[in-house]
Amino acid sequence: MTDMPTSPRSTAEIDAVFGDGPLSAAPAASLVGEWRRAGAFLKRPSLGVGAQDGAPLKVLARIYALDMAAMAVLITMASIAVAAGVYIPETALAGIEFTPLVIASVVIGAPVLEEIFFRGWLSGKPAHIFALLAIILGAVAFGFAHQSAPMLGLAAPVIGIAAAIGLAYWLRDRPPFGWFAFAFPAFFWLSTIAFALVHLWNFEEGSLAILLPLVLPQFILGALLGYMRVRIGLWAAIALHAAHNATALSVAALAMGAGG
């Protein structure tokens, strides 16, 4: 199969890449081609991306490279701002000791939980949407009942997870909701924005005017994770998220070692 040398411009080209055509399932011919394909998707998010039928790890590696390129640009801009005297608040994680538990939480726990919550349902399929709702209801029930009725509170998340597994299995063959596919661009960007905003909790001080630009890395990452979720699957979004966090953790550890 061949691929387009440039990003799609016409409706026919977009449908070929993001619709049911044979090109939609093939990896792009080059690294830049994959980046252009991701850019075309972000201009017009759609559930119509063809399922990846070959070389998913190649696509994953290319989008990881795009993520790292974007992070390098943002780090350079931040360094210039600091050199110019702009104050950038430290995150709540600054100076934290990198214990095995912390590393596992950042590299494994956070990617799995955050991808399930923020992008697991982006398939638009009833199985994924209702399974997530069951988990959320279980968590809410735990929050309300764990003090007044400890046993019920402890049972609530277990029941929620069991219900989620049952719903996912029962509804596994149902196609995406039509209304979800129609409104997918809104759902995609709401998910991406929510993912970025939740990381404001990483900072203990600073006004929104200062903090909002600091979660731009999470906004960019969230958009790329959403693309991977739709193009390949949830596992690819989790893998990219884990690779991003592992790289960030490694850079932070090296910086702390150099500074110490």
pLDDT of residue 6: 44
Residues 19, 24: Cα–Cα separation, whole Å: 6
Q: Which residue(s) pair with 203 in the sheet?
A: 91
First to last CA, the chain: 53
Mean pLDDT value across residues 180-184? 96
Q: Which residues contact 107 (CB under 8 A, 6 or more apart)?
A: 242, 245, 246, 249
184, 46 in Cβ contact below 8 A?
A: yes
Q: Which residues contact 193 (CB under 8 A, 6 or more apart)?
A: 219, 222
218, 91 in Cβ contact below 8 A?
A: no
pLDDT of residue 176: 95
pLDDT digits (tens, 9 = 90+) for 208-255: 888 999 999 999 999 999 999 999 999 999 999 999 999 999 988 887
The length of the chain, given as a count of residues:
260
Burial level of 173, CB count in 10 A (0-12/13-18/19+)? exposed
**Given pLDDT bands bounded at 50, 70 and 90, which one contains residue 51?**
low
Q: Which residue(s) pair with 91 in the sheet?
A: 203
pLDDT of residue 91: 82
**Given pLDDT bands bounded at 50, 70 and 90, which one contains residue 18?**
very low
Q: Which residues contact 181 (CB under 8 A, 6 or more apart)?
A: 46, 47, 48, 124
92, 204 in Cβ contact below 8 A?
A: yes
pLDDT digits (tens, 9 = 90+) for 115-172: 999 999 999 999 999 999 999 999 998 888 877 787 877 898 899 999 999 999 999 9
The reported pTM is 0.85
18, 46 in Cβ contact below 8 A?
A: yes
146, 153 in Cβ contact below 8 A?
A: yes
Burial level of 158, CB count in 10 A (0-12/13-18/19+)? exposed
Sign for the CA dihedral angle at 14, 9, 235, 109 comes to negative
pLDDT digits (tens, 9 = 90+) for 86-102: 888 888 777 778 899 99
Indicate whether 1 pLDDT > 80.
no
